[in-house]
Amino acid sequence: MTTQTARKLTMAQAISEAIDQEMERDNEVFVMGEDVAKYGGIFSATGGLLAKYGKDRIMDTPISETAFIGSAIGAAAEGMRPIAELMFVDFFGVCMDMIYNHMAKNTYMAGGNIRLPMVLMAAIGGGYNDAAQHSQCLYATFAHMPGMKVVVPSNAYDAKGLMTQAIREDNPVVFLFHKGIMGLPWMSYFEGSTNAVPLEPYVIPFGQANVVREGRDLTIVTLSQMVQKSLIAAQQLAAAGIEAEVIDLRTVVPLDREAVLRSVRKTGRLLVADEDYLSFGLSGEIAALIAENLDTVKLKAPVRRLAVPDVPIPYSRPLEQFVIPQVEAIVAASQRLMGVPQLEGASA
Protein backbone atom coordinates (compact mmCIF):
# COMPACT_ATOMS: atom_id res chain seq x y z
CA MET A 1 0.00 0.00 0.00
CA THR A 2 1.22 3.49 -0.76
CA THR A 3 0.48 6.52 1.35
CA GLN A 4 -1.54 7.91 -1.55
CA THR A 5 -3.85 4.91 -1.74
CA ALA A 6 -4.10 3.69 1.86
CA ARG A 7 -5.59 5.72 4.69
CA LYS A 8 -6.88 4.70 8.06
CA LEU A 9 -10.65 4.37 7.93
CA THR A 10 -13.22 3.27 10.45
CA MET A 11 -15.30 0.28 9.48
CA ALA A 12 -18.31 2.54 8.90
CA GLN A 13 -16.29 4.69 6.49
CA ALA A 14 -14.93 1.62 4.70
CA ILE A 15 -18.40 0.15 4.15
CA SER A 16 -19.74 3.46 2.90
CA GLU A 17 -16.79 3.85 0.53
CA ALA A 18 -17.31 0.37 -0.90
CA ILE A 19 -20.96 1.12 -1.58
CA ASP A 20 -20.07 4.51 -3.08
CA GLN A 21 -17.52 3.03 -5.47
CA GLU A 22 -19.87 0.26 -6.60
CA MET A 23 -22.73 2.72 -7.12
CA GLU A 24 -20.40 4.83 -9.26
CA ARG A 25 -19.31 1.77 -11.23
CA ASP A 26 -22.76 0.24 -11.72
CA ASN A 27 -25.98 2.24 -12.08
CA GLU A 28 -28.03 -0.80 -11.04
CA VAL A 29 -26.73 -0.59 -7.45
CA PHE A 30 -28.99 1.27 -5.04
CA VAL A 31 -29.64 1.40 -1.28
CA MET A 32 -32.91 1.27 0.64
CA GLY A 33 -33.82 1.03 4.30
CA GLU A 34 -34.80 2.94 7.41
CA ASP A 35 -32.76 6.16 7.88
CA VAL A 36 -30.16 5.18 5.27
CA ALA A 37 -30.54 8.46 3.36
CA LYS A 38 -31.01 11.53 5.54
CA TYR A 39 -29.05 10.13 8.48
CA GLY A 40 -26.62 7.96 6.52
CA GLY A 41 -27.74 4.94 8.51
CA ILE A 42 -27.84 5.05 12.28
CA PHE A 43 -24.48 3.25 12.31
CA SER A 44 -23.09 5.42 9.46
CA ALA A 45 -22.80 2.61 6.90
CA THR A 46 -24.30 4.84 4.19
CA GLY A 47 -22.91 8.20 5.30
CA GLY A 48 -22.62 10.85 2.60
CA LEU A 49 -24.27 8.84 -0.16
CA LEU A 50 -27.53 10.79 -0.38
CA ALA A 51 -25.76 14.01 -1.33
CA LYS A 52 -23.92 12.28 -4.16
CA TYR A 53 -26.61 9.99 -5.58
CA GLY A 54 -29.92 11.53 -4.59
CA LYS A 55 -33.12 10.06 -3.24
CA ASP A 56 -33.75 7.85 -6.29
CA ARG A 57 -30.76 5.66 -5.41
CA ILE A 58 -30.49 6.20 -1.63
CA MET A 59 -34.01 5.66 -0.37
CA ASP A 60 -35.41 6.01 3.13
CA THR A 61 -38.28 3.59 3.65
CA PRO A 62 -41.21 3.29 6.03
CA ILE A 63 -40.79 1.06 9.06
CA SER A 64 -41.95 -1.97 7.10
CA GLU A 65 -39.14 -4.48 6.76
CA THR A 66 -41.28 -7.00 4.90
CA ALA A 67 -42.17 -4.38 2.28
CA PHE A 68 -38.73 -2.99 1.54
CA ILE A 69 -36.88 -6.31 1.69
CA GLY A 70 -39.56 -7.78 -0.57
CA SER A 71 -39.08 -4.83 -2.92
CA ALA A 72 -35.33 -5.44 -2.95
CA ILE A 73 -35.91 -9.10 -3.83
CA GLY A 74 -38.13 -8.08 -6.73
CA ALA A 75 -35.61 -5.51 -7.96
CA ALA A 76 -32.82 -8.09 -7.80
CA ALA A 77 -34.90 -10.57 -9.79
CA GLU A 78 -35.21 -7.89 -12.48
CA GLY A 79 -31.45 -7.45 -12.69
CA MET A 80 -30.78 -4.59 -10.30
CA ARG A 81 -28.35 -4.86 -7.39
CA PRO A 82 -30.12 -3.57 -4.28
CA ILE A 83 -28.59 -3.16 -0.84
CA ALA A 84 -31.31 -3.31 1.82
CA GLU A 85 -30.39 -2.33 5.36
CA LEU A 86 -32.21 -4.09 8.16
CA MET A 87 -31.42 -1.64 10.94
CA PHE A 88 -30.83 -4.29 13.64
CA VAL A 89 -30.42 -7.96 12.82
CA ASP A 90 -32.82 -8.68 15.69
CA PHE A 91 -35.64 -7.29 13.53
CA PHE A 92 -35.40 -10.18 11.06
CA GLY A 93 -38.34 -11.81 12.82
CA VAL A 94 -40.86 -9.40 11.30
CA CYS A 95 -39.62 -10.16 7.77
CA MET A 96 -38.55 -13.77 8.17
CA ASP A 97 -40.73 -14.99 5.30
CA MET A 98 -39.15 -12.59 2.82
CA ILE A 99 -35.65 -13.60 3.87
CA TYR A 100 -36.01 -17.34 4.35
CA ASN A 101 -38.68 -18.25 1.83
CA HIS A 102 -37.93 -15.77 -0.95
CA MET A 103 -34.47 -14.25 -0.79
CA ALA A 104 -32.85 -17.55 0.14
CA LYS A 105 -34.95 -19.89 -2.01
CA ASN A 106 -36.29 -18.16 -5.13
CA THR A 107 -33.28 -18.97 -7.31
CA TYR A 108 -33.66 -22.63 -6.37
CA MET A 109 -37.43 -22.61 -6.76
CA ALA A 110 -37.01 -21.12 -10.25
CA GLY A 111 -34.58 -23.83 -11.29
CA GLY A 112 -31.76 -21.32 -11.54
CA ASN A 113 -33.61 -19.21 -14.11
CA ILE A 114 -33.49 -16.10 -11.94
CA ARG A 115 -30.68 -14.63 -9.91
CA LEU A 116 -30.93 -12.45 -6.82
CA PRO A 117 -27.83 -10.23 -6.70
CA MET A 118 -28.71 -8.40 -3.51
CA VAL A 119 -27.16 -7.55 -0.17
CA LEU A 120 -29.08 -7.60 3.10
CA MET A 121 -27.01 -5.48 5.49
CA ALA A 122 -27.63 -5.40 9.24
CA ALA A 123 -26.04 -4.32 12.51
CA ILE A 124 -25.21 -7.00 15.08
CA GLY A 125 -23.81 -7.33 18.58
CA GLY A 126 -24.10 -6.04 22.10
CA GLY A 127 -21.86 -4.51 24.70
CA TYR A 128 -23.56 -1.13 24.96
CA ASN A 129 -26.67 -1.89 27.02
CA ASP A 130 -29.34 -2.07 24.31
CA ALA A 131 -30.99 -5.16 25.83
CA ALA A 132 -32.39 -8.36 24.41
CA GLN A 133 -34.07 -7.09 21.23
CA HIS A 134 -31.17 -5.00 19.87
CA SER A 135 -27.99 -6.87 20.85
CA GLN A 136 -27.89 -10.28 19.17
CA CYS A 137 -25.53 -11.57 16.48
CA LEU A 138 -27.58 -14.39 14.86
CA TYR A 139 -25.17 -15.11 11.99
CA ALA A 140 -25.57 -18.83 12.66
CA THR A 141 -29.33 -18.44 12.23
CA PHE A 142 -28.86 -17.21 8.65
CA ALA A 143 -26.08 -19.71 7.97
CA HIS A 144 -28.36 -22.58 8.96
CA MET A 145 -30.73 -21.86 6.07
CA PRO A 146 -29.31 -22.72 2.62
CA GLY A 147 -29.31 -20.11 -0.11
CA MET A 148 -27.54 -17.11 1.43
CA LYS A 149 -23.91 -16.20 1.87
CA VAL A 150 -23.14 -14.80 5.31
CA VAL A 151 -20.35 -12.23 5.72
CA VAL A 152 -19.09 -10.86 9.06
CA PRO A 153 -16.05 -8.53 8.87
CA SER A 154 -13.80 -7.67 11.82
CA ASN A 155 -12.00 -4.56 10.53
CA ALA A 156 -12.18 -1.74 8.00
CA TYR A 157 -9.89 -3.30 5.39
CA ASP A 158 -11.88 -6.51 5.30
CA ALA A 159 -15.20 -4.66 5.44
CA LYS A 160 -14.51 -2.74 2.24
CA GLY A 161 -13.25 -5.76 0.31
CA LEU A 162 -16.02 -8.03 1.52
CA MET A 163 -18.75 -5.45 0.81
CA THR A 164 -17.42 -4.90 -2.71
CA GLN A 165 -17.47 -8.65 -3.28
CA ALA A 166 -20.99 -8.87 -1.80
CA ILE A 167 -22.38 -6.24 -4.16
CA ARG A 168 -20.84 -7.97 -7.18
CA GLU A 169 -22.20 -11.39 -6.16
CA ASP A 170 -25.01 -12.86 -8.25
CA ASN A 171 -26.44 -14.53 -5.15
CA PRO A 172 -28.03 -13.07 -2.00
CA VAL A 173 -25.56 -12.02 0.68
CA VAL A 174 -26.23 -11.26 4.34
CA PHE A 175 -23.62 -8.69 5.40
CA LEU A 176 -23.43 -8.22 9.18
CA PHE A 177 -21.38 -5.50 10.86
CA HIS A 178 -20.79 -5.31 14.60
CA LYS A 179 -21.74 -1.95 16.13
CA GLY A 180 -18.83 -2.12 18.57
CA ILE A 181 -16.18 -2.01 15.82
CA MET A 182 -17.74 0.53 13.43
CA GLY A 183 -15.68 3.39 14.88
CA LEU A 184 -18.68 5.46 15.86
CA PRO A 185 -17.87 8.57 17.92
CA TRP A 186 -20.87 8.14 20.17
CA MET A 187 -20.00 4.68 21.44
CA SER A 188 -16.84 2.91 22.57
CA TYR A 189 -15.21 0.61 20.05
CA PHE A 190 -12.09 -1.48 19.52
CA GLU A 191 -9.40 0.61 17.82
CA GLY A 192 -8.00 -2.47 16.07
CA SER A 193 -10.96 -2.42 13.71
CA THR A 194 -9.81 0.92 12.27
CA ASN A 195 -6.94 0.28 9.87
CA ALA A 196 -5.33 1.11 6.54
CA VAL A 197 -7.71 0.87 3.58
CA PRO A 198 -6.69 1.41 -0.06
CA LEU A 199 -8.61 4.04 -1.98
CA GLU A 200 -8.88 1.81 -5.04
CA PRO A 201 -11.70 -0.76 -5.16
CA TYR A 202 -10.71 -4.33 -4.28
CA VAL A 203 -12.45 -7.56 -3.36
CA ILE A 204 -11.85 -10.19 -0.71
CA PRO A 205 -13.17 -13.55 -1.95
CA PHE A 206 -15.67 -15.27 0.29
CA GLY A 207 -14.60 -18.42 2.10
CA GLN A 208 -11.02 -17.33 2.78
CA ALA A 209 -10.29 -17.05 6.49
CA ASN A 210 -7.42 -14.86 7.66
CA VAL A 211 -4.67 -15.86 10.08
CA VAL A 212 -4.48 -12.56 11.93
CA ARG A 213 -1.93 -13.83 14.44
CA GLU A 214 0.30 -16.88 14.12
CA GLY A 215 0.98 -19.15 17.09
CA ARG A 216 2.12 -22.63 17.99
CA ASP A 217 0.30 -23.54 21.22
CA LEU A 218 -3.41 -23.18 20.55
CA THR A 219 -5.85 -21.97 17.90
CA ILE A 220 -8.56 -19.41 18.59
CA VAL A 221 -11.23 -19.45 15.86
CA THR A 222 -13.45 -16.40 15.87
CA LEU A 223 -14.97 -13.53 13.86
CA SER A 224 -16.32 -9.98 14.07
CA GLN A 225 -15.63 -8.06 17.31
CA MET A 226 -14.37 -11.23 18.96
CA VAL A 227 -11.31 -11.04 16.67
CA GLN A 228 -10.28 -7.80 18.36
CA LYS A 229 -10.86 -9.26 21.81
CA SER A 230 -8.96 -12.43 20.88
CA LEU A 231 -5.96 -10.44 19.67
CA ILE A 232 -5.79 -8.59 22.99
CA ALA A 233 -6.11 -11.92 24.83
CA ALA A 234 -3.35 -13.40 22.67
CA GLN A 235 -1.01 -10.54 23.67
CA GLN A 236 -1.69 -11.24 27.34
CA LEU A 237 -1.14 -14.96 26.81
CA ALA A 238 2.14 -14.29 25.02
CA ALA A 239 3.38 -12.42 28.08
CA ALA A 240 2.86 -15.67 29.98
CA GLY A 241 4.67 -17.73 27.33
CA ILE A 242 1.62 -19.03 25.45
CA GLU A 243 1.48 -18.34 21.72
CA ALA A 244 -2.08 -18.36 20.39
CA GLU A 245 -2.94 -18.45 16.70
CA VAL A 246 -6.02 -16.34 15.91
CA ILE A 247 -8.16 -17.22 12.89
CA ASP A 248 -10.66 -14.66 11.58
CA LEU A 249 -13.29 -16.60 9.63
CA ARG A 250 -14.52 -13.47 7.78
CA THR A 251 -17.44 -15.43 6.29
CA VAL A 252 -19.66 -18.06 7.89
CA VAL A 253 -21.09 -19.12 4.51
CA PRO A 254 -18.92 -20.22 2.81
CA LEU A 255 -16.89 -21.46 5.78
CA ASP A 256 -13.15 -21.94 5.35
CA ARG A 257 -12.97 -25.33 7.02
CA GLU A 258 -9.51 -26.10 5.68
CA ALA A 259 -8.01 -23.03 7.36
CA VAL A 260 -9.38 -24.21 10.71
CA LEU A 261 -8.14 -27.77 10.21
CA ARG A 262 -4.71 -26.60 9.07
CA SER A 263 -4.25 -24.48 12.19
CA VAL A 264 -5.51 -27.08 14.66
CA ARG A 265 -3.32 -29.74 13.05
CA LYS A 266 -0.41 -27.45 13.90
CA THR A 267 -1.37 -26.45 17.46
CA GLY A 268 -3.39 -29.45 18.66
CA ARG A 269 -5.71 -27.23 20.68
CA LEU A 270 -8.85 -25.28 19.72
CA LEU A 271 -10.89 -22.57 21.38
CA VAL A 272 -13.90 -21.18 19.52
CA ALA A 273 -14.70 -17.64 20.71
CA ASP A 274 -18.16 -16.57 19.57
CA GLU A 275 -20.61 -13.77 20.43
CA ASP A 276 -23.57 -15.75 19.14
CA TYR A 277 -25.50 -18.21 21.30
CA LEU A 278 -23.72 -21.34 22.49
CA SER A 279 -26.20 -24.05 21.51
CA PHE A 280 -26.83 -25.12 17.90
CA GLY A 281 -24.54 -22.44 16.49
CA LEU A 282 -21.17 -21.66 14.93
CA SER A 283 -19.11 -22.91 17.86
CA GLY A 284 -20.81 -26.31 17.64
CA GLU A 285 -20.20 -26.43 13.87
CA ILE A 286 -16.49 -25.78 14.31
CA ALA A 287 -16.26 -28.35 17.10
CA ALA A 288 -18.03 -30.91 14.89
CA LEU A 289 -15.58 -30.18 12.09
CA ILE A 290 -12.70 -31.17 14.33
CA ALA A 291 -14.53 -34.24 15.63
CA GLU A 292 -15.17 -35.43 12.08
CA ASN A 293 -11.48 -35.13 11.22
CA LEU A 294 -9.83 -36.72 14.22
CA ASP A 295 -8.09 -39.14 11.86
CA THR A 296 -5.89 -36.24 10.72
CA VAL A 297 -6.15 -33.87 13.69
CA LYS A 298 -4.32 -34.96 16.83
CA LEU A 299 -5.74 -33.06 19.77
CA LYS A 300 -3.71 -32.39 22.90
CA ALA A 301 -6.83 -31.28 24.80
CA PRO A 302 -10.61 -31.35 24.24
CA VAL A 303 -12.09 -28.55 22.14
CA ARG A 304 -13.41 -25.65 24.20
CA ARG A 305 -16.25 -23.30 23.23
CA LEU A 306 -16.76 -19.81 24.60
CA ALA A 307 -20.04 -18.19 23.56
CA VAL A 308 -23.15 -16.46 24.88
CA PRO A 309 -25.11 -18.80 27.18
CA ASP A 310 -28.65 -19.56 26.07
CA VAL A 311 -30.23 -16.51 27.65
CA PRO A 312 -31.45 -13.19 26.20
CA ILE A 313 -28.82 -10.44 26.27
CA PRO A 314 -29.38 -8.52 29.54
CA TYR A 315 -29.86 -4.76 29.73
CA SER A 316 -27.85 -4.52 32.98
CA ARG A 317 -24.25 -3.71 32.11
CA PRO A 318 -22.63 -6.11 34.62
CA LEU A 319 -24.91 -8.94 33.43
CA GLU A 320 -24.34 -8.09 29.77
CA GLN A 321 -20.57 -8.06 30.28
CA PHE A 322 -20.87 -11.42 32.02
CA VAL A 323 -22.81 -13.24 29.27
CA ILE A 324 -20.88 -11.79 26.30
CA PRO A 325 -17.35 -13.29 26.22
CA GLN A 326 -14.72 -10.74 27.22
CA VAL A 327 -10.94 -10.68 26.91
CA GLU A 328 -10.51 -12.11 30.41
CA ALA A 329 -12.73 -15.08 29.58
CA ILE A 330 -10.73 -15.83 26.42
CA VAL A 331 -7.51 -15.74 28.43
CA ALA A 332 -8.93 -18.02 31.12
CA ALA A 333 -10.32 -20.54 28.63
CA SER A 334 -6.98 -20.61 26.82
CA GLN A 335 -5.14 -21.15 30.09
CA ARG A 336 -7.35 -24.14 30.87
CA LEU A 337 -6.75 -25.53 27.38
CA MET A 338 -3.03 -25.37 28.07
CA GLY A 339 -3.48 -27.00 31.47
CA VAL A 340 -1.73 -24.21 33.34
CA PRO A 341 -2.95 -21.92 36.14
CA GLN A 342 -5.08 -18.97 35.06
CA LEU A 343 -3.49 -15.57 34.75
CA GLU A 344 -4.18 -13.33 37.72
CA GLY A 345 -7.65 -11.79 37.50
CA ALA A 346 -8.78 -13.95 34.56
CA SER A 347 -12.18 -15.60 34.70
CA ALA A 348 -14.61 -17.27 32.28
Residues contacting 93, CB < 8 A, separation 6+:
none
Q: Establish whether the linkage from the previous residue to 62 is cis, with ω within 30° of 0.
A: no
| H-type alpha helices, 44-143 | 49-53, 65-77, 96, 106-109, 139-143
Our answer to whether residue 144 is catalytic in this structure is: no
CB count in 10 Å sphere of residue 299: 15
For 185, what's the count of Cα atoms within 13 Å in the CB-facing half-sphere? 1
CA 273 from chain centre, in angstroms, equals: 13
Cα-Cα-Cα-Cα dihedral sign, residues 328, 329, 330, 335:
positive
Burial of 58-69, coded b for 16+ CB within 10 Å and e otherwise, reads bbbbeeebeebb
Report the relative pairing of strands 58-60 and 29-33 from DSSP bridges. Answer: parallel
User: CA 243 to CA 254: how far, in whole Å?
Assistant: 28
Q: Which of 129, 116, 115 is nearest to 84 (CA)?
A: 116
Q: Which of 102, 134, 144, 178 is labelled catalytic?
A: 134
Integer angstrom CA distances of residue 45 from 78, 87, 143, 253, 281: 25, 10, 23, 22, 27
| H-type alpha helices, the chain | 11-25, 49-53, 65-77, 96, 106-109, 139-143, 156-168, 225-239, 257-267, 282-291, 317-323, 327-338
Structural contact between residues 306 and 271, judged by C-beta atoms closer than 8 angstroms: yes
Query: Which residues carry out catalysis?
Result: 134
